[in-house]
Amino acid sequence: MTALNITDGSITHRKEIIQLFQMAIAKQWQASYLFVTKNHVTSHDLKLTSVDARDGTFYVDGEFDNLLKKRNESLMFRAQSGGLSVVFKSRLSKAANSETAISGHEHQVDLPYEVRCTQLRKSARVNLESLAEEVPVTLYLSMGGRIDGTVIDISTSGAKVRVNRDLSNEIKNLQVLDSCRISLPDDSVLQAGVQLMDMTLDDECDTTTLRCQFSDILSNNEEILEEFIANTQDQAETTELAIASSLAERLQIHHFLPCFTVPGMTMQSRWTSARRCLE
């Protein structure tokens, strides 16, 4: 499968753009278009309904009465899911066939040549590979079946999962995942819908790494996740401080210990501060 890396930047390959639209439709992303009249900009909601790879178009359901006379002009569209926003320009192609349209407001739009992707927020993130116990996850497939793996990195917007086998024959497109169940070390369980963003195969280790974005996550699950991330960060900082203090004692530099104990400092910052003390 060609990996679709949805991070800050542009997507220009037609196949990847089609994959992105298929995923947005399957996950029911929020979508809209911008309409400019004089100096006033208004946003109008619409629904992405289908994509036609052969014709190079996609279908939307929404009110376009004010644009029918400007069919050849480019419009600004945007779609959003969680912490990811995509923006692109395109033109109305034609009204959908009345026999196949889901409503009288469905229109055909040309697929864009470029889609701009932006992460809306920087999420708190922790690496879990150094924890004493693994964080198991079960990924449920949209067509049935499951994949068991281990969470190696997690944030409030998504997770990176390692699976100890080659998944290239099982995962052929980005719509294959549906939801996940993560068992946290404190015995709490996180459940959420997921969107596959990227898949990387390590041939040497025969492992697959999946980068997923959370969707349809309940507020109580968000609170559980935020608390887990905060506690894990605190534990990591406490461990760093203990290591720094132990090293300071071994090196008999007790008078430099205050350099290590400023709250919120990373290990690198502590050693930088210690070097300054020595100077």
Query: Which comes out higher in pLDDT, residue 83 or 226?
Result: 226
Query: Residue 4: which pLDDT band, with cuts at 50, 70 and 90?
Result: low
* pLDDT tens digit sequence for 193-213: 888 888 888 888 889 999 888
Q: What is d(CA 60, CA 62) in angstroms, rounded to the nearest whole number?
A: 6
Mean pLDDT of 87-110: 70
Instruction: Please give the model's pTM, rounded to 2 decimal places.
Output: 0.55
Q: What percent of the chain has pLDDT over 90?
A: 17
Quick one: pLDDT at residue 135?
93
CA atoms within 13 A on the CB side of 184: 17
Quick one: pLDDT at residue 98?
47
* pLDDT tens digit sequence for 231-257: 887 776 665 555 556 655 655 554 555
Q: What is the mean pLDDT of the chain?
A: 77
Quick one: pLDDT at residue 9?
76
Mean pLDDT of 140-147: 88
Q: What is d(CA 179, CA 185) in angstroms, rounded to the nearest whole number?
A: 20
Quick one: pLDDT at residue 81?
76
Quick one: pLDDT at residue 5?
59
Calculate the alpha carbon distances from 272 to 190, 237, 257, 261 in Å.
38, 16, 13, 12
Q: What is d(CA 19, CA 59) in angstroms, rounded to the nearest whole number?
A: 15
Give all domains of the chain, ordered by start, each with its CATH number: 9-119 (2.30.110.10), 125-217 (2.40.10.220), 229-278 (no CATH)
